[in-house]
Amino acid sequence: MMSAMKKYLLVIVVAVLGCIVLLVGGSLDNDPLKSAGVVLVLSTLVLEIIFLRCPNCRRWLGRKFRPGKHCPHCGEIIE
């Protein structure tokens, strides 16, 4: 099973990659590349909702959560 830190980093990498692809597609005026960037950025939201959950209570940890902190719902430490 993937740790909370790896999941968190995966979400960040996909978001940054999506922004880069979107910016490059915009600067080159390349519609397929812009579309791919939008898909990557939107998939970040889906990944965040799926991955950033407490392993104990399964509730979403929220946008401000960082690995190593306590779950705001049940108090379990998320590693």
18-37, pLDDT tens digit by residue? 999 999 999 999 999 999 99
Task: Specify the higher pLDDT residue, 3 or 47.
Answer: 47
In the chain the first and final C-alpha atoms are separated, in Å, by 12
Q: How many residues does the chain have?
A: 79
User: Is 0.75 surpassed by the pTM of this model?
Assistant: yes
pLDDT of residue 44: 93
pLDDT score of 65 more than 80: no
65 neighbors 78 (Cβ within 8 angstroms): yes
